[in-house]
Every structure is written in C-alpha cells, then in structure tokens.
Structure 1
Amino acid sequence: MKFQQTMVACALVLAGCANQAQRDRLGIEDPTLLKTGIGAAQDTASGAVTPQWLSTYAPIASGGEALAALQQRLDKLPVGQNTYFHAKAQCWIDAAQTEWRAHDQWGFVEEAIGQAAMITFGLENDASLSAANPELRTVSTVRPDLWKIVNVIKSDPATARCPEAQVPLACAEVELMLAGHYAWRHDFSAAEKALPGIQGNLRKAAEAGLQCAQPNIPTPTTPTHTPAPDITLRADSAFRFNGSDLAALLPNGKNQLNAIAAGLQKVKGIRQLNISGYTDRLGSDAYNQNLSLQRALTVKAYLVKRGVTVPITVTGMGKTKPVVECDQKDRSALVQCLAPNRRVEIDFVRGSE
C-alpha cells in the first residue's frame, strides 16, 4: 500500500484553483483546507501519515477479497436489536467499496474498512459499541449544520425504538464522513454532489422517527389473509442496471430491505409475504420473465438473511401490469419514463392472532 506524501502536496497546490464559494457552501472551518497554494501546510494536522496511523491501518487489506469477506461476516448477523450498528457497518463497507473501485489511495479505504470491521466484530461478540463518529485522518468536517441535525435525530428517544429511522440515519453519518473525505482531498465538487443523498437520508430518518413517535391506535380486527398495504421497491434504485443477484443490490435497496426486515420483527400478525417482480416492456418476454423472477428471489434471499422467518412466495410477472404507459421516440427518454414499471412489490398478508 502506497501513501505518497507528494499526493498531499499536489492536492494542496491544486486546491488554490478551487472555488472559494464551494468551501463556503460546505461550511468548511478547517484551517488546513482554507489555506491553499504552495505555502499550505503539509504536516500532521493537514493529513500527513503518522507512524501511529500506519500501525493501525497499514495492516488492513483493502482489496476486493477483504471487503467480500467482511461483507459475508456481516451478512451472517441478524439485524435484531442492533439495527443502527448493522446499518452503519454496511454503509462503511459500501463507502469502502466505492472508494476502492475509484482507486482511492489516500487511506480512506483502510479507515472505512477499519470502522466496518470494528462494528462487525463488536456485533459478533455482543460487545458494547459507541454511536459516536470517529475522527479520521482523511476526513474533514463539512456542513456542520447537517451534523447538528444528525445529533438531534440521534438524541431523540423515538429514534432509539425506531429501526426505520436508524438505517437512514446511520448511512447519513457515513455519507457525511465520505463527503468530508472528498473535502479533505480538496475535491469540493464531489463533496457537494454527495449532499442531496445525505439530506434525503436525514429527511427519511426524521420522518420515520415522527411516525414511530405517534401513539399506537388500535385498528379493527381484519379478516384472515387481508393484505396490508404494499411496499414497492423501484428496481432502478434497488439494483444495478440489468442486475438481479445479491451482488447487484445497491446500497439504497439494501437499506430499504433492512428497514423492512427490522420492521417485521416488531409487527405482529404478519403470516406471509408475497414478493412479485416486474419489468418494463423493453426486451423479450423470456428475458423479462427471468429478470423479474430473479429480482424477486434476490429480495426473498436478502430478507431471509436478515432474519425474516415468515413464509414467502415469489413470482416473476415480467412486463405485465404496467403502472405507466409511455410512447417517447427517444430511447433514453422512454427508458426513464418506464422506470416505475421496473419494480419489486412486497405484499404483507395478515392473519388472525
């Protein structure tokens, strides 16, 4: 593993060309990022590698095999009462994979793997874990206002009993750290591009927390096998394009399924899940039938890995039952218009107590 000090120097020089308005929008207060050009510092405070850092992180293997092995260990653990930490470990793995694929050699990959491993090993050994975010060498603070929102949501008692809020909250924290890494290496544009996703996750966490804080109102007894409202996963946000296996599940898809699995452990009376996959009308009938079935099977496999034990039926519906009709001539516009048809629907079947 190479950690070239010259890379830090080059980044600091190039930062002189960065737009000051970007730094202002990111709320950067770190003096090592505000001072730019050849005269900028290259000491420990500005991110130079220290012997202590090397002794901690240099032994960490940052290749694909190491990430896959860590993912396997995490997948074996039930979400249970550790939804927040399970989600945070997963998001650290996802962040490490993103930067590893981008050939990031600054040290963030090792730090992200280290955080994921620490949480995973703690969950394996039922150890006490801290929800505090670490200070990392390759991460600077961006958007202090969003960190304040993180702390408000995290301190809300409703969040502690609401897995649906914990998953997006944990990922928002990791994503803010990743944005801070982009800023640390003076890629302020990349840091800004990460903000909408972070804000979206914080909004989801806040809304879920509010819903969990609402008092439980008894509902009339429903007949056996009356389906609860469906949950629809948009395939474009849950799977890589044309992907259908577990490896093709995107972080957003995993987060949604994690929340469903955690919610099922709290809800009583769910007797069965019916999972149906759908595609758009593009492509052959045989291809779409297989793709829709494989995606439904993958969703089932993921939920089972997360501890869902109720019976699950799986159906591939291919291009049937479209929810939108489109006739655009431009293929890109047509594909975008047909996006709602590419989906996986989950029906919850309730039974009498």
Structure 2
Amino acid sequence: MNSFNQAPIFKLLPGAGSLIFTLLFSPLLYAGTGLHQPEDRITDQAINADIATYKQTQARIAEINNKGIAVTDYHLSKAQCWLDVSLHEYTRNDRSAFPQEALGQSDVILSALDSGQQPDSETPLVNDADRIRTDLWERIASLKSVQGLSCYAQKLACAEVELVHAGNEHKQQGWRHAKPYIQIAEDLVAEAAAIGDSCLSPAVAPAMQTQEQLDISADALFAFNKAGYDDLLPAGRRELDELVQRLNEVYARVDRITLTGHTDRLGSAQYNQRLSEQRAGTVKAYLQAQGISTEIQTVGRGATEQLDQCGTATKPTRALIDCLQPNRRVTVEVSGIRK
C-alpha cells in the first residue's frame, strides 16, 4: 500500500508521536472486526492495522475449518464471502459503511460457529443496499429448500452476498457499477442449479420383505409315529441341511421362521396334536444346532389340515398309510430379505 503524501494537518506536541502510535496500534481500536473510520484511513499505520484485522478474520475462518467444518459449508462459505467483498471494497477505497458492515457479518457468523451455535441464514442488506434481482433471490430461496443444498451450499452463500454487494453498488453508483457483481451472482446460481443433488447418494429402494413356504415330508424326517431328535432319519437330516444352506445363501436377513407340524388322520386327536408339536420342536432344535439363530416359532396342527383324506377307512393298512403320506409333513415358513 502506497503512503499518502499530504501536508500535516496539525503540529505534533512533544510525546504526541508515541501517543498516536499507541492509538493506532491499540487493540481497542481494531480488535475483532473494527476497521478505522473512513476519514482515518490516510496513513500506512491505519491501513496496515485494518489489513491486519482482515488477516485475523481470515485466520479465524481457517481455524474453524481446521476444527472440521468444511470449506464448502454454507455458513463458513458465507463468512468467507462477506470477508472477500468487504476487503474488495476497502481496497477500492469505498468510504461508505459497506466494508465495515460486510466484515461485521463475517464476524457474526464466525462467532456463532466458534460457540457451536447455528448462525442465522438470513442475508441482511448491509449499508441499506438496494434489493435487486428479486428473481435471483427467489431462485436462491427455492434452491435452499431442497435436499441437495449440501451439494452447492457454497455457491448459494456467495451468490447471496454478491447480490447484496451488487445492491450496494446499485444504490451508490447505479446499474453499470452493479453489473459485474450481478453477473457473479447469476453465474453462481446457475452453477448451483446445474449441480443439483448430484453429490447425494442415489436413493436405494427399500429392501422387500419376502415370504416363502415349503413342506418337508415327515416320512423323510422321521420313522412312522416317531418325533424325537434321535429319530431323525438320514434323508431328513440331509433335507434340513439343505434348508440351512438355502437360508444362508439366499437370504441377506432371515427375520422369522415358523415350523408347523402336521399328522395324518389316523390315531386320536390328542395323540396327533402332541406328535405334530414334537416333530416341529425337533426340527427347530436341529436348525438351531446348525447355527440358525433367527427366532423360530413352532406350531402343532395335528390332523386338522389334511391334504388328502383317502376315503373314510380308519384301519392303518399299508395302502392307507401310503395314501395319507402327504398329510404327514412339517411346513416351513420363512420371512426375510433376500440377497
């Protein structure tokens, strides 16, 4: 920054030099985001002090970023853009309140972030800037309300600030001076709209709950009229092993298994009820022994759900026993999510 060469406007008294030095560099004069008054920005010392204030604000942004808040975060981006437009106008010798008020907005956001609070998302028209391009403000509001905001938050934050910047120029010097900043805002909004929700993970269709049912012949599982664990036949064990393999290979998650035991109509209702319950319980124990940890419910239906009556005879002849074979079964119902 070049020095301003001008005649002194007052005569220094003895000791006044050190006093002025103290005032210029006193933390009270430019602590936080306080800039020198426009009329005081006529010395290298004052200007350097203001530049130091900008550097301090920039360092605060870096520090917050180091704590884990992304550079592209909406609020941190907005703090950066307020800082940028403030410094831009300061270096253009804007003597209005805009540089100070814009820098003050950066400070407000950073103070909230420093304290772990959520900054206000409103964008004030600092220095009583004109509200221009209502269509862009409305477009920004629309883009801020959708899920994809995180994909383009930085661009929207800076677009808002640039619209205020443009409004300040428009009020001070007209549209021609506002045009470059309007263009910046237009470009940022267009870029945000083009990005859309592209950074979001594609929606995953919810996994469909499926149910299937299969019947295992009790004759393959057990000897006639048997139901104990030691009564399981080799063929029945193989069939249950295949069921376990299917559950492990086909299902990503098995939520529930229901085992329902059935008998034929021969014998008393009480006997058949107990036999059907025992067979379902034995199959449950075998599945659990093979590592199936899913909840397994067991039900006994006795002879209440016959598939084939095979007439009305009750004498257990070989022909009748063979005919009634489909009724002797364990039904397996599986509910879960397939791979």
Query: Which TM-score bucket, shorter chain as reference?
Result: 0.3 to 0.5
TM-score (norm 1): 0.42
TM-score (norm 2): 0.43
Structure ID, larger Rg: 2
Greater relative CO (CA pairs within 8 A, separation 6+): 1
